[in-house]
Amino acid sequence: MQVSRKCNDPAQYDDLAAQWWDPRGAFMMLRRLAAARALVPAATGDAVLVDLGCGAGLLAPQVAGKGYRHVGVDITASALAQARAHGVAPAGCCGPGGLVVIDTIAATALARLVAIRLAERLPAVPKGIHDPDLLVDRTVMVGECARHGVELTLRGIAPSVTDLARWLVLRLDTVRMASVPTTAILFQAVGRKAVP
């Protein structure tokens, strides 16, 4: 029985801890987003990849073998324990040359409609898991990163329409993420900390 919690209550992730690595579980879409990060380039030198909001380490299989020391940051202890089991190190310091990869929901009315109102009606997305007040303003994010020496490149991402239809009808495990021409709903940002 799922406990009903307020929006943005971190305990909801503890409630769902057993579903992080379940291909059909509540975090299925996060697993697909992590798979979309497979485009992360190989590391150069002694690079650190800091995974903010790493959850249970879903990014780990995507960056394995690419030469990064994968460091995770998350507020949910049960998720961090699973991340450690998948090779993600506790939080550290990301220095010059470090790679930043962000995927998140844009702070737009369209994103609130599609990624929250509609998506949270799908069987694999827990109700109330997204807090509209925490959606990311792309302009502010790009500006703040630039201020700290990280120039970001953004691309829009979305579930493959064909895969999503197959998942809804046939309950297939695979829903790939695809590039789309807009960053107004889901987007990925990639940047590298400038070396002085």
Kindly state the DSSP code that residue 146 receives in the 8-state scheme: H
What is the rounded CA–CA span in Å between residue 90 and residue 92? 6
Q: For residue 175, what are the domain limits? A: 11-193
What average pLDDT does the chain have? 84
- Tell whether 1 is covered by a domain: no
Tell me whether residue 4 is in a domain.
Answer: no
**Residue 5 within any structural domain of the chain:** no
Q: What is the pLDDT of residue 147?
A: 86
- Give the number of domains in the chain: 1
Query: Can you tell me the distance from the alpha carbon of 14 to that of 110, in angstroms, rounded to the nearest whole number?
Result: 29
pLDDT value, residue 41:
77
Rounded CA gap, 140 and 87, in Å? Answer: 32
Question: Two tokens at 164?
Answer: 């999503």
Give pLDDT tens digits for 78-113: 999 999 999 998 774 475 666 777 888 999 999 999
- pLDDT score of 93: 44
Q: Where residue 41 sits, what CATH number does that domain have?
A: 3.40.50.150
Q: What is the pLDDT of residue 121?
A: 85
Q: Is residue 186 part of a domain?
A: yes
Residue 2 lies in a domain: no
108-121 tens-digit pLDDT: 999 999 988 998 88
For residue 67, being part of any structural domain is answered with yes
Considering the domain boundaries, does residue 3 fall inside one?
no
Mean pLDDT of 51-63: 89
